[in-house]
Structure 1
Amino acid sequence: MTRNGITTEAANASIDRACRMLRLPTIRSTFEQAVHDATKDGLSYPAFLAELLMAECDDRSRRRSERRVKAANFPREKSLRAFDFDANPDIDPAVVHQLATCEWVTKGQPLCLIGDSGTGKSHLLIALGTEAAMNGHRVKYTLATRLVNELVEAADELVLSKTIARYGRVDLLLIDELGYMALDKKGAELLFQVLTEREETNSIAIASNASFSEWTNTFTDPRLCAAIVDRLTFGGNIIETGTTSYRLAHTKADAAATK
């Protein structure tokens, strides 16, 4: 029996009902254990309330981050913690960890990852995109060919402006595997629109297996290619992942570890 005559069971039932109405799932699920711990530790009422509310806030923040990561549509889970910098000495860990602060995303700067296949570009692209999503940014991942196909279909269905606007609303657009195949004139021009008509506060990150001088194989119009390169390099960040096969080195290391 509590001091005001309400039984503990009745009080717990009221708390449960109130948490449901106010949408406080963390407090609802942890309240009884929190009461036990607070009694054991002798917490004051304000300290007890503060701990409950902070737990709810932390859990909401975690769930929001999970939703942003899911909305980014990453093809697989990749993290910076799992990236083996020893497997590719061409990549400077200090540069990558600085990018992980997401200051470049906040400033709307572009990022280009340039290097041969298997050098860790996609891993870094997804990992840095994940960091951005967890830091509160709206992120979208796509393959270059998939994006171009979507744009061409949107143009044919007369919804191109709507599609471009949708990609323009995200804080960070990640485009993987640029340069793996040449684009026809229409596809190149549509991709150019997405890359150049975004707001200045929005960022673009691109992973490509071709150096900038080879982008004319993808964007066959030299002027169009030059405009895209200028847009992505002006004030941007460039990481050259080189020719060392991160994938092969990592596979050999895993094989050696199992012997």
Structure 2
Amino acid sequence: MIANPAQYEPLRLRAKALHLNGLVAHWSEVGDAEWIALLLQWEEEERAHRSLQRRIRQARLGHFKTMADFDWAWPKRIDRGAVEELMSLAFLADATNIVFVGPNGVGKSTLAQNIAYQALIQGHTVLFKPASQMLGELAALDSDAALRRRLRHYAAPDVLVIDEVGYLSYSNRHADLLFELVSRRYQNRSTLVTTNKPFAEWSDVFPNAACVVSLVDRLVHRAEVISIEGDSYRFKEARERAEIRASRRAATKSSLHKAPPS
């Protein structure tokens, strides 16, 4: 029997929360054992780790460069302070939307992925989806019931990242579906959007769509809009890799010319 049951009650409640029913059933026999606290800590840490890994898989973030490797000096213009503040996730408290606007290759998706990953670490649900894939999937559904289910799926995560809006043009139906999704999440959950088009050009992305003005208005109300200017970092990396390969070839060629005849 435990000499002072009240002293070990917090541990028993932790065991109960973990559904360790066998341990709870025999608590009076082992509840004061020194190994109990360590066992509970191991179980909690392992479950937290498995939960994070499961949510990472479900989020479909893919591979991305961490903020430690982000080259802040490359963009010609970026509000680093605003981006770093977003990493605190304070915007989730009032369901603020985030929009990264800028040309190809300046790191919009990387920033969105890092914010989404931070949200996962903090226990939030996240889904990362390219705009073309998400809208194409929704538009292809041939029944109202299936469409409603899929809209609920996209409306549910604490953070939804819609990547690369503006790289393709869409029909009126696609525009209506995006408006419906943004409206469902409006003031309830945060949506992160990356786009290469300023909002004034979204009428080119959704030509002839009557809801474009309402879509933009709903998206940017109480939103943080981060504009990024600069050249493509991917082009920079490709050029550097080409220069390295050329330098290696030149060094190899030089060493062959200098080799003494056998």
Q: Answer whether TM exceeds 0.5 for this pair.
A: yes
CA distance in 2, matches of 1:180, 1:133: 27
| 1:73–1:58 Cα change, 3 Å | same
**Is structure 2 residue 149 aligned with structure 1 residue 162?**
yes
Name the SS of the counterpart of 2:185 in structure 1.
coil
Q: Residues 105 and 132 of structure 1 are in contact (CA less than 8 Å); yes or no, is this contact kept in structure 2? A: no
What is the TM-score with the length of structure 1 in the denominator?
Answer: 0.74
| 1:58–1:93 Cα change, 3 Å | farther
**Is structure 2 residue 97 aligned with structure 1 residue 88?**
no
- The aligned residue for residue 74 of structure 1 is 61
Q: Which moved more, 1:182-191 or 1:70-79?
A: 70-79
**Is structure 2 residue 209 aligned with structure 1 residue 213?**
no
- The aligned residue for residue 27 of structure 2 is none
- The aligned residue for residue 9 of structure 1 is none
- The 5 A counterparts of 1:165-204 are 165-198=152-185, 200-204=187-191
**Is structure 2 residue 112 aligned with structure 1 residue 138?**
no
Gaps in structure 1 of 5+ consecutive residues:
1-20, 24-43
| 1:240–1:160 Cα change, 3 Å | same
CA distance in 1, matches of 2:244, 2:40: 46
Runs (4 or more) in structure 1 with deviation over 6 Å come to 253-259
Q: Residues 80 and 128 of structure 1 are in contact (CA less than 8 Å); yes or no, is this contact kept in structure 2? A: no
**Is structure 2 residue 117 aligned with structure 1 residue 117?**
no
CA distance in 1, matches of 2:33, 2:241: 53
RMSD: 2.7
1:250 deviation in Å? 4.6
Q: Output one character per residue of 1:110-161: Cα deviation in whole Å (capped at 9) or x when no partner.
A: 000000001111111111111111111111111111111111112x233111
1:204 deviation in Å? 0.6
How many residue pairs get aligned? The number is: 218
In structure 2, which of residues 217, 228, 231 is the aligned counterpart of residue 230 of structure 1?
A: 217
Q: Output one character per residue of 1:65-119: Cα deviation in whole Å (capped at 9) or x when no partner.
A: 2211111012323422232212225223322221111111232110000000011
The amino acid that maps onto 2:158 is D
| 1:205–1:22 Cα change, 3 Å | same
- The aligned residue for residue 242 of structure 1 is 229
- The aligned residue for residue 50 of structure 1 is 37
What is the TM-score with the length of structure 2 in the denominator?
Answer: 0.74
Q: Residues 171 and 202 of structure 1 are in contact (CA less than 8 Å); yes or no, is this contact kept in structure 2? A: yes
Q: Residues 84 and 250 of structure 1 are in contact (CA less than 8 Å); yes or no, is this contact kept in structure 2? A: no
Q: Residues 76 and 229 of structure 2 are in contact (CA less than 8 Å); yes or no, is this contact kept in structure 1? A: no
| 1:250–1:51 Cα change, 3 Å | farther
Question: What percentage of aligned pairs have identical amino acids?
Answer: 28
CA distance in 2, matches of 1:193, 1:145: 16
CA distance in 1, matches of 2:78, 2:42: 38
Larger Rg: 2
1:252 deviation in Å? 5.6
